[in-house]
Amino acid sequence: MDSQINNKNLVEDFKVPGQRKEGGFTLIELSIVLVIIGLIVGGILVGQDLIKAAEIRATVGQVEKYNSAVNTFRTKYNALPGDITSTQAIAFGLFSETTLAGTSGHQNGNGLIEGCTASGVLTPCGETLSFWRHLSDAQLVDGQLGTNTSDALPDVTTGLVTALVSVPSRSLPPTKTTPNNYFAVYSNAGLNYFQIMPIATITTAGAYTVNTVSLTPIQAYNMDIKLDDGMPNTGIVQAKAITVTPNTAPSNNAASTANTCTLGAGVATDTYNRVAATGGNDGSCSLRFRFN
C-alpha cells in the first residue's frame, strides 16, 4: 500500500505545472448542440418562407386595392382615370392635357386606357401615364405619382414625361415583391390591364426600358392561384414576358429549364415552371391582371 501511494505521489510530482485534465463533450451534449443548430436553421428557413408568402399576399392586396381605386374613381367621376375627358378633368380639378386632348390615347373617354397612338397603346404616354396621376389627384393611391415636375409630370401638350424618368416610382407604384418592379397599365382587345414589369426607366420617346429580373414562376403561380385559376395563359391573371413592350408572350418550353416562365406548347393547358432547381426560382415572369 505504501508503495502504491509513493508511486502516485511520484507521478504527481512529475506533472507539468499548470497542466490539468481536459474533458470532451459527451454524446448527449453533442446531440443537444446539434438539435439547437437544427432548430435555428429551420427557424431561418421558415422565416424566409413566411416573408416570401407575406410579400405575395401584399402584392395581391395591391392589385385589389388598385381595382377598388379605379371603381371608386369611376363612381365619383363617371369615367376611368387617365381616360376621363379633358373637360371633365378640368371641372373636377384633375390633371388635363390640352393640345391633344380627345384624340387617340389622350383622355378621349372611350373606356380604354391607351398610349398615345393606336399603334402604341401599350406605351407610357398619354392615358397610360395620366391614369396614375389622376388616381393621385383624387387621393386614391399612396404617393404623388406623375407630379414630379423635373421628369415624371406628363406634358400637357404631348402626354409624354417631361424628362427621362430614372426613378420609376415617381410615375408608377412599386410592387411589394421583387425589387424594381412596378405596375403599368394598358388596354388590349377591348379590356384594361395592370401588369407587373421590371421597369428601369421611362423615356421621353414614350418607351420603357426594363431590368432582366422580375417575378419567379413560383411567385407568379402563387399570385395567379390566389386571384384566378393558376394557369398562365387563361383567366384574368396571365403570365407575360420581360420585355419593353407589355403583353408579350412569356418564355416557354416543353421541359423545365433555366429562365423559363411557363411549360407546355403555348396553349391554354400550359403550366407555370415550378421546378425550383431548373428555372422555378429564376425571375423570368411578368404578370398581368385584368381590371374587375
Question: Checking DSSP bridges between strand 191-197 and strand 182-188, what pairing results, if any?
Answer: antiparallel
Domain ranges for the chain: 49-167
- The rounded distance, in Å, linking the Cα atoms of 23 and 251 is 61
Residues 127, 82: contact at Cβ < 8 Å? Answer: yes
Q: What is the mean pLDDT of residues 131-152?
A: 96
Residues 222, 179: contact at Cβ < 8 Å? Answer: no
Q: How many CB atoms lie within 10 A of CB 262?
A: 26
Residues 228, 235: contact at Cβ < 8 Å? Answer: yes
For residue 215, the SS3 value is: strand
- CA 264 to chain CA centroid, Å, is 24
Of 259, 269, 152, 250, the closest CA to residue 202 belongs to 152
> For residue 10, what pLDDT band results from cuts at 50, 70 and 90?
very low
Instruction: State yes or no: pLDDT of 43 exceeds 80.
Output: no
Q: How many CB atoms lie within 10 A of CB 228?
A: 16
Between 11-25, 34-48, 139-153, the lowest mean confidence (pLDDT) is in 11-25
As beta bridge partners, residue 192 has 187
Q: What is the mean pLDDT of residues 113-131?
A: 92
Question: What CA–CA distances, in Å, run from 104 to 101, 185, 275?
Answer: 8, 16, 44
Instruction: State yes or no: pLDDT of 153 exceeds 70.
Output: yes
- The rounded distance, in Å, linking the Cα atoms of 271 and 170 is 35
The whole-number pLDDT of residue 108 equals: 96
- The rounded distance, in Å, linking the Cα atoms of 167 and 75 is 32
Q: What is the mean pLDDT of residues 134-138?
A: 97
C-alpha cell at 17: 505545472
Widest pairwise Cα distance in the chain:
118
Residues 250, 262: contact at Cβ < 8 Å? Answer: yes
For residue 174, the SS3 value is: strand
Tell me the torsion sign for CA atoms 275, 280, 286, 288.
positive
Of 192, 185, 191, 190, the closest CA to residue 171 belongs to 185
- CA 224 to chain CA centroid, Å, is 13
What are 110-119's pLDDT values in tens digits?
Answer: 999 999 877 7
